[in-house]
Copies of this chain bind each other. A is one copy, B any other.
Amino acid sequence: MTTAVPDDSFHVFDTTLRDGAQREGINLTVSDKLTIARHLDEFGVGFIEGGWPGANPRDTEFFERAQSEIEFRHAQLVAFGATRKAGVRAADDRQLVALADSGAPVVTIVAKSHDRHVELALRTTLEENLAMIRDSVVYLRERGRRVFVDCEHFFDGYQDNPDYAKQVVRTAHEAGADVVVLCDTNGGMLPAQVHAVVRTVLNDTGARLGVHAQDDTGCAIANTLAAVDAGATHVQCTANGYGERVGNANLFPVVAALQLKYGRTVVPPRALPEMTRISHAIAEVVNLTPATHQPYVGLSAFAHKGGLHASAIKVDPDLYQHIDPELVGNSMRMLVSDMAGRASVELKGKELGYDLAGDRELVGRIVDRVKEQELRGYTYEAADASFELLLRDEVHRGRTAPTGGEAGAAAGAPRFFRVESWRAIVEDRPDGSHANEATVRVWAKGERVVATGEGNGPVNALDRALRVALEGVYPQLARMELVDYKVRILEGRHGTQSTTRVLISTSDGTTEWSTVGVADNVIAASWQALDDAYTYGLLRAGVAPSE
């Protein structure tokens, strides 16, 4: 087990917010970027490349807010940009000035290192390109920034003109760049090539080298490790391998390989078991389903199906897994369905304070109901509170008493209110404005209440109407707030007739809980999740059920 702390001798450099955002389908808001930056910092990467300040308003805003809103514990913020334009003084290049002005302590500038690109894309001379690199590095160093230089298309360039490619590295190094990063921009390289080139360039230039690999041959992780084997001490990766085209080198398997296979401490050892959670959390922020077959962190990464394997695993799990999944916060799963289902329901029950192990029939009933509900589109992995309500409901039908759940309420299916009916109206007026109005009819503590709410959308209007109806009876609701709301359309090939799943997170200021609703339309699904959210919240607040 490694126990040292990472230091500057090896860099884990994350570029999810810059290069990762180039993935088709990813479109990050400033708030998304801030959330991802927090996750990456928690994971302990050394550098977070946040974007290109000055190039678009979103990136400029991100740098301002990241520096005032995030207290980084591990990472340094990196601004990305390009070398000065041809024929312009560095200090007169607006883009370079914006980089220095961004306040980021580290700046990465991209430089051309492939002679063909200098001539065709940059339309300048090979000499001027070297001057552009030199001047830009010197300018940023004078402005007090640490400078890394990304040599775009380095490996392709090296194949065409190795001398010029090496000259680029030497120029950047001698001008004061701390790291010169060799980029496989088009992703066409294979590990053996990367290894040979990095070794030669290291010998011939003496510069500190980094690597940036794209995954177009499916070898980005291996190419990154090959560069490290050859002496690179700076690896550029993205969370979950997000990036242009096929993607970039995936941060998580690269870090896992370095830490667990090489025995090198590149992130704080205590961060490693957070890997699976952080990978999935970042996927949620970018609104992509976490890839189930991702190395180390995928849901299936330690799932066993084969009969041969199953019997051997009973003897010793390590016979069929390359590492203990707990090292990366994942877990082994046996896909023998029913058995696994029972075990996890028992485990989950225990977590919630119910000892279900003695009641085979009750556990069977809960497993059946979960399976049935999941077939209809519900998911309980991300909706703990709805699962607890389901479990309580089944416990109530049986006889098992709780051993003292965290919520501390009585056993059984708690009901604080009963809904008679509701209605939501969304109206688009001739002037282009919208009106959202909802009416709810509910019974609480024996009384029928009819209330109306307005909001900026139908769900918001329903939420307000329900609060108006219930807050007199349950003042505890005032402390609860919806903090997250997600919609997923299931069976997406049926147009607007698909099933809709809504996940809602609610907070009472101290803790958060999540609930799920599934229906043929988004409003009805949201209503279910809202109903569960307030029921669970009142239960958690210790209120006695009344209906």
Contacts and interface: CB of A to CB of B under 8 A. Distances in A.
Given A185-B320, A436-B521, A292 B24 contact: yes
Nearest to A58: B375
A309 interface: yes
A1 interface: no
Nearest to A436: B521
Interface string A292-322: 1111101111111111110110011001111
A244 B304 CA distance: 7
A456 B520 contact: yes
Nearest to A378: B27
A460 B521 contact: yes
Interface stretch (A264-272, A335-343, A469-477): A335-343
A296 B186 CA distance: 12
Contact of A319 (B121, B218, B229, B489): B121
Contact of A429 (B299, B421, B426): B421
Contacts of A294: 218, 246
A301 B218 CA distance: 11
Contacts of A301: 216, 245-246
A203 interface: no
A292 B504 CA distance: 26
Contacts of A463: 496
A537 interface: no
Contacts of A320: 185-186
A425 interface: yes
A482 interface: yes
A491 interface: yes
A96 interface: no
B24 A490 contact: no
A394 B455 CA distance: 34
B421 A428 contact: yes
A506 to B, nearest CB: 8
A500 to B, nearest CB: 7
Interface stretch (A69-77, A131-139, A220-228): A220-228
Given A316-B120, A436-B521, A490-B29, A496 B459 contact: yes
Nearest to A521: B457
Interface string A116-135: 11001100000000000000
Nearest to A229: B192
A446 interface: no
Contacts of A494: 483
Given A22-B339, A218-B250, A221-B219, A425 B428 contact: no
Interface stretch (A204-212, A349-357, A405-413, A522-530): A522-530
Contact of A423 (B250, B426, B485, B520): B426
Interface in A215-244: 215-219, 221-223, 225-226, 229, 241, 244
A8 interface: no
A250 B215 CA distance: 13
Task: Please tell me the size bucket of the interface on A.
Answer: 35 or more
A261 B296 CA distance: 29
Nearest to A335: B24
A66 to B, nearest CB: 16
Interface string A517-541: 0011111101100000000000000
A295 B31 CA distance: 31
Contact of A483 (B223, B241, B493): B493
A427 B436 contact: no
Interface string A21-63: 1111101010110010000000000000000000111100000
Contacts of A481: 495
A101 interface: no
Contact of A225 (B110, B191, B246, B491): B191
A523 B295 contact: no
Contacts of A83: none
Interface string A398-437: 0000000000000000000001111111111110001010
Contact of A456 (B489, B492, B521): B521
28 contacts: A25-B382, A27-B374, A31-B493, A56-B339, A110-B308, A117-B319, A120-B315, A186-B320, A190-B225, A190-B257, A191-B226, A216-B296, A217-B257, A217-B322, A245-B301, A246-B300, A421-B427, A421-B429, A425-B426, A436-B521, A455-B497, A457-B500, A457-B522, A458-B522, A459-B496, A460-B496, A484-B492, A495-B504
Given A120-B312, A190-B261, A486-B492, 7 more contacts: A23-B305, A57-B371, A186-B322, A217-B253, A424-B425, A456-B521, A460-B495
